Structure 1
Amino acid sequence: MLGSIDCTHFVWRSCPTSLRGQYMRGDHQYPTVMCEAVASQDTWWWHAYCGTPGSNNDINVLNQSPLFLPEQNGTAPKCPMYVHGRLYKRGYYLTDGIYPTWSVFVKATPYPTDPKDKRFKKVQESARKDVERGFGILKSKWGILKRPLRAMSIDKIRKLVYTCMILHNMILKDDGNAISPVYIRDPPVQPVEDDDALEELHDSEIHHRLRYDLTEHLATLDLDYLDTTEDEDEDEDEDEDEDED
């Protein structure tokens, strides 16, 4: 797993009147600026893309994001892995349900009925909270991000958000809480356009196969806290109590 990916909104108080329609959305009362980010379990920020108008959704931001440009031009580091005895060419990111079925994304089963799928859904959703927890820490640590932003330009907002994320990573490293405190640079390579890279990234068959292999691998682990039978028994008991009432 490379990390969890998600988007958050920052309220833009000084948004020009001429741009309010572009930066507002029905579920937000004020103009907002979106930020896409990838965080690992230690809430270390590995990627950030800020500045997209708040009227967009996560998929629109993803289509504009430079996250997968290294994959397309052949400069991304190699990270093959085996899952349940099957070789995969790339790592993967944990996402919520709105993201597309790409080969590098792992989503939970929407409506699981099999016990294995229920176990995987519980693990995936709990692990995916890393990025949301990171957003919460970021806004709590720097109140300027939690309050409506007074910057007059998107460029200043972008620099402000990136600065807070960099400071957050520096604090993690200084406290010794970073999973990988030493950053090892990969040897430089010349960009080489790969015509098949985009097709491989968007391959939904690999997406479903990877989720199946992860589900089967998780089923082989002896993790008592993932037992779904107890939850089902509790739900049945609650239903019986309601019927008696």
Structure 2
Amino acid sequence: MRMLAYGITAHFCDDYLDIAKTTAIEIFEHFTKAIWNVYHETYLCRPTPADLRRLLDKAEERGFPGMVGSLDCMHWQWKNCPTRWAGQYTSYRGKPIIILEAVASYDTWIWHAFFGLPGSLNDINVLGCSPLFNAQCVGETPEVSYQTQHFTRMQEAYRKDMDRAFGILKARWAIIRGPAHGWSKENLQYIMMTCIILHNMIVEDERDEDATQPFDPDDIPTRPRKAEIYKRPEMDTDVHRNPQQLNQFLRLYREVRCPVMNKNLQDDLVDHLWTMKLQADQNQQ
């Protein structure tokens, strides 16, 4: 826990635990794997209908009806990135980066986490590789009716939820605030997921205590503190979505992912550009 919370190195544990550095690292790896195996189904699960009802009610109260959560990516510098992967993981900043994609709600609870993609990708490429919308494409997600109003202005306010979530996550777990010193991508993934699971545990534990505190969207902490949590309804409530909009989304999604459709669109675009160029040349003549 000290290695997670304070970011201390393994050999510091020798002073008070009287164990070797290699033993401390082995124990640390076992701990992160155990946290993932035992708790990931509870603290990294899909929102239930009751959760969705609570999130949608709060979104409507904040002026953005239909908004469930905020999506963003966090870049974690990989100091000990293996040389054979350095080119793939090096970002435009010139340093190896490993990316976390996450979705957080207004209470900083992280509902979705996708970790391990190379820093050479941008956020759009990450979204294309992410399994975030896979369940929706096969019709397995809870039914939700989506609405928007004053989109740009309200989206800017909602993005602060993700900034707050990343800020609290880094403030609580110093190990992800600095460069990653691990050699294995698998171990780094367990470390990141352990920090997220423990973060959600803290959010759940402080929910009742902080339910009455006022919400401040500009509050991005720089040190460990309590997150603003609102009480979760106990009864499940069905939330419905528009089947026509869902079918339209699925059709467009499949067309975007289909190589044949991409090729046809590319050919059509090229033909259209050539036609416009020929017409322009004829007009000049």
Q: Pick from 168, 171, 182 the counterpart of residue 151 of structure 1.
A: 182
* CA shift in 2, pair 1:21/1:126, >3 Å: same
Counterpart amino acid of residue 250 in structure 2: L
Structure 2 CA distance for aligned equivalents of residues 163 and 200 of structure 1: 36
Give TM-score scaled by structure 2 length.
0.51
SS of equivalent residue, structure 2 residue 111: strand
* CA shift in 2, pair 1:82/1:131, >3 Å: closer
Structure 1 CA distance for aligned equivalents of residues 124 and 147 of structure 2: 28
CA contact (8 A) 1:51 1:158 kept: yes
> What are the ranges of 5 or more consecutive residues in structure 1 without an aligned counterpart?
85-116, 188-193, 204-245
Structure 2 CA distance for aligned equivalents of residues 202 and 3 of structure 1: 24
* CA shift in 2, pair 1:183/1:71, >3 Å: farther
Per-residue CA shift, 1:41-100, capped at 9, x if unaligned?
Answer: 11110111000001100011101101011111221111125668xxxxxxxxxxxxxxxx
* CA shift in 2, pair 1:184/1:163, >3 Å: farther
* CA shift in 2, pair 1:184/1:20, >3 Å: farther
Match of 2:86 in 1: 20
Higher-Rg member (1/2): 2
Give the alignment of 1:46-195 within 5 angstroms: 46-81=111-146, 121-176=152-207, 177=210, 178-179=229-230, 181=232
CA contact (8 A) 1:43 1:130 kept: yes
CA contact (8 A) 1:11 1:32 kept: yes
Structure 1 CA distance for aligned equivalents of residues 206 and 73 of structure 2: 26
Counterpart amino acid of residue 69 in structure 2: G
Per-residue CA shift, 1:90-129, capped at 9, x if unaligned?
Answer: xxxxxxxxxxxxxxxxxxxxxxxxxxx6xx5333212211
Structure 2 CA distance for aligned equivalents of residues 17 and 39 of structure 1: 33
Q: Pick from 198, 217, 227 the counterpart of residue 250 of structure 2.
A: 198
Structure 2 CA distance for aligned equivalents of residues 19 and 82 of structure 1: 43
Structure 2 CA distance for aligned equivalents of residues 52 and 161 of structure 1: 13
Structure 1 CA distance for aligned equivalents of residues 146 and 174 of structure 2: 40
Structure 2 CA distance for aligned equivalents of residues 60 and 133 of structure 1: 24
* CA shift in 2, pair 1:55/1:200, >3 Å: same
Structure 2 CA distance for aligned equivalents of residues 200 and 148 of structure 1: 39
Counterpart amino acid of residue 198 in structure 1: L
Structure 2 CA distance for aligned equivalents of residues 199 and 74 of structure 1: 12
Structure 1 CA distance for aligned equivalents of residues 235 and 77 of structure 2: 36
After TM superposition, what 4+ stretches of structure 1 lie above 4 angstroms from structure 2?
A: 81-84, 180-187, 194-197, 200-203
SS of equivalent residue, structure 1 residue 38: strand
Query: Could you tell me the percent identity over the aligned residues?
Result: 41
Q: Pick from 1, 4, 7 the counterpart of residue 73 of structure 2.
A: 7
Counterpart amino acid of residue 149 in structure 1: A
Structure 2 CA distance for aligned equivalents of residues 126 and 151 of structure 1: 35
Match of 1:39 in 2: 104
Would you tell me which structure has more strand in proportion to its own residues? 1
Would you tell me which structure has more helix in proportion to its own residues? 2
> What are the ranges of 5 or more consecutive residues in structure 2 without an aligned counterpart?
1-66, 211-228, 239-245, 256-285
Number of matched pairs: 163
Counterpart amino acid of residue 113 in structure 2: A
Q: CA deviation at 1:147?
A: 1.1
SS of equivalent residue, structure 1 residue 47: strand
Counterpart amino acid of residue 137 in structure 1: I
Structure 2 CA distance for aligned equivalents of residues 183 and 47 of structure 1: 22
CA contact (8 A) 1:11 1:31 kept: yes
